[in-house]
Amino acid sequence: MKTQELDINDKAMFAGWSAAFNGDTLQLTEEDMLATLNNFRKVMQEKVQQRAKAQAEENLAKGNTFLAENAKKEGVVTLESGLQYKVIEEGSGETPTEKSKVTVHYRGTLLNGEEFDSSYKRGQPYTTPVTNVIKGWTEALQLMPVGSKWELYVPSNLAYGNSPRGPGGPNSALVFEVELIGIE
């Protein structure tokens, strides 16, 4: 049996289960079983880490390619940090500071267009301190006048970085449509 890229002797495994279930003498000592189990865990952890590393490298390359091509598009502004944005609607209100609390509507997507979050779908805007969001948002919000709607193209280092828990996995660049509704 081949499971998760591991060769497992299904006959030996079944014989072990059968012996244990029937109370027969086991072929492996408890110490041998523990060593085998620990080795299995180690191999599985290494495989998970290898897959995560490969995914992180692939996502970073895809993000870099996307951002390089996107920077050439009309209306796209690239900041020194690498954050890119395009003004969809320019507001005329105040601009938040680092100490501000803002109310926004937003939609977040992966580079392939798959939506992973949306305040619009929840039917309620999101209120948060400017510094309580990803770095790309913190930077962009401090440039946006109230009433603006921007499309943000956020490199992975300004999003969730190498975290496997971020949308799209480690090193994913993300796209957000952000509408700044108000400042508290």
Entry pTM: 0.81
Domain hosting 81: range is: 1-184
What pLDDT, in 10s, does the model give residues 37-72?
Answer: 888 899 889 988 898 899 999 999 999 999 999 999
Instruction: Confirm whether 14 is a catalytic residue.
Output: no
Q: How many helices (H) and strands (E) would you count in the chain?
A: 4, 9
- Which CATH number characterizes residue 150's domain? 3.10.50.40
Instruction: Confirm whether 116 is a catalytic residue.
Output: yes
Instruction: Confirm whether 120 is a catalytic residue.
Output: no
Asked whether the CA dihedral 22, 28, 31, 32 is positive or negative, the reply is: negative
SS3 115: strand
Instruction: Confirm whether 183 is a catalytic residue.
Output: no
Q: How far apart are CA 160 and CA 169, in angstroms?
A: 9
Instruction: Confirm whether 117 is a catalytic residue.
Output: yes
Q: How many CA atoms lie within 13 A of 55 on its CB side?
A: 17
Q: How many domains does the chain have?
A: 1
What pLDDT, in 10s, does the model give residues 99-149?
Answer: 999 999 999 999 999 999 999 999 999 999 999 999 999 999 999 999 999
Instruction: Confirm whether 66 is a catalytic residue.
Output: no
Find the catalytic residue in 14, 24, 32, 116.
Answer: 116
